Amino acid sequence: QILRPEFGGVVSRAIAFEHVIGCVVHASTWTSEPGLVEHKMGQGLIVGEPAGGTSARGNALGAALQQAGFDVTVSADVRRDIWYKLWGNMTVNPVAAMTGAPTDRVLDDPLLLAFCSAAMREASAVGARIGCAIEQQPEDRHAITRKLGSFKPSMLQDVEAGRALELDAIVTVVREIAQRVGVATPNIDALLGLARLFARTRGLYPG
C-alpha cells in the first residue's frame, strides 16, 4: 500500500500496479540548468518486481538496461533494496539541505553524526517490522558515504535551485510507516519537523 501517493495519486491512477517495476538508482548527477542533467559518477541500477520474486519481464528489462550501458542487478527483493537506500539517504540528505553543508562536513560534526545514527537505528527497527531488515549499522553506512567524497546531496541541490524538497518520499513516509507498525521514532520526528519548517519558510514545501 502506498501511504502517501506522490502528486495526489496521479501516478498510481495513470499506471496500474501490475505495470510497475521497482528500481533503485545508484548514480550521482547534477542539474546544472533546466533540461540538462550532468552525470558525475555511478551507473548502478537495481530492478525487480514490487511484490518480490523474479519474472521474465524483470529479466528482460535488466538485460535491455545492461545493453544500454548500465550496471544492472535484477533483485528478488527490490523492496528491501529500496528501503536500504532510503535508510542511508533519509538523514544526511535533509541535514545537508538545512545546514548548506556537503556530506563530509555533516559526518565530521560529532553531534550531527550521532543524531543521524539515532534516526537510522529507528528506521532499522521499522524495516525489521515490514520485512526489510538491515544487517548493517549506521556507522557502516557512514563509511560508505565518506568513500564518495564531499558532495551536495539532492536536497541541498534543490534548496540552492529553489526547487520543492522531496521530504515526503524520503522522511515523511518512514514516519508514517513507523506509526502504522507501532515503532517510536523521536529522532525521525524531530528531523521531519525541522526539515519541513525549513522548507516551508522558503516556499519549498506546501503548507
85 is catalytic: yes
Catalytic-role residue among 40, 85, 147, 152: 85
**Residue 168 and residue 130 in contact, taking contact as beta carbons nearer than 8 Å:** no
- Which residues have a catalytic role annotated? 85
